[in-house]
Each structure stands twice: as C-alpha cells, then as structure tokens.
Amino acid sequence: MAQAVTSASFQKTVLDSKQPVLVDFWAVWCGPCKVLDPIVDELGKSLGDKLGVVKVNVDEEPELSQRFTVMSIPTLILFKDGQPVETVIGVLPKPELEAKIKPYL
C-alpha cells in the first residue's frame, strides 16, 4: 500500500525525492478513489524501483489540495525534480496510466 504523506512530510517525501513520485489525492468517502486504489498500488509494485507512490487524504490535508489546485478526486499528480509534470483526474485503466507515467521514469 502507498505511503500516506502530510504537509509536514510532503517536502522531503515528494519534492526532494531523487525519483519521480506519483501523488494520489483521495478521500475515504470517494467511490472512484476506491476503484483507482488497487491500480495505484499495482503501479507502485511494478514500478517501485523507479517510482515513488504516496497518498494524500484531502480531508486531512486540505492545504496540500489547495496548494496543487485539486478540485475533484481522485486526482493523481506526478512530480519529477520537485515539479508537477503530469496530472490525471478520475479513473484510468492501468495501461493508460502507466503510459502517462513512463516518459518521466
């Protein structure tokens, strides 16, 4: 399962990471988030040596949601070298999601 990050750990875990990091903005009550969760976990396992995968609970970390203009969930933001480089809103099949991530690995 992906590591949960907070505003306190976001800088070190995501922005300072040497490898790209996929951030999953989600909430417990979000149905589509539950559909996306196993896909994100699979990506974390299959690309684990090249990609960090973390989760941000939007209800517990509203300042991170605001900072990255997350208007709807699930939202996935891929960070590389501390910058957001790709954003996906909603649920995508694993192959499509993987195709969006691979160019940054």
β-bridge partners, 23: 54, 77
What span, in angstroms and rounded, lies between the C-alpha atoms of 24 and 18? 18
**Residue from 4, 30, 85, 89 carrying the catalytic annotation:** 30
State yes or no: is 55 an active-site residue. Answer: no
**Residue from 33, 53, 56, 70 carrying the catalytic annotation:** 33
State yes or no: is 33 an active-site residue. Answer: yes
Q: What sign has the CA pseudo-torsion 31, 66, 55, 45?
A: positive
Active site residues: 30, 33
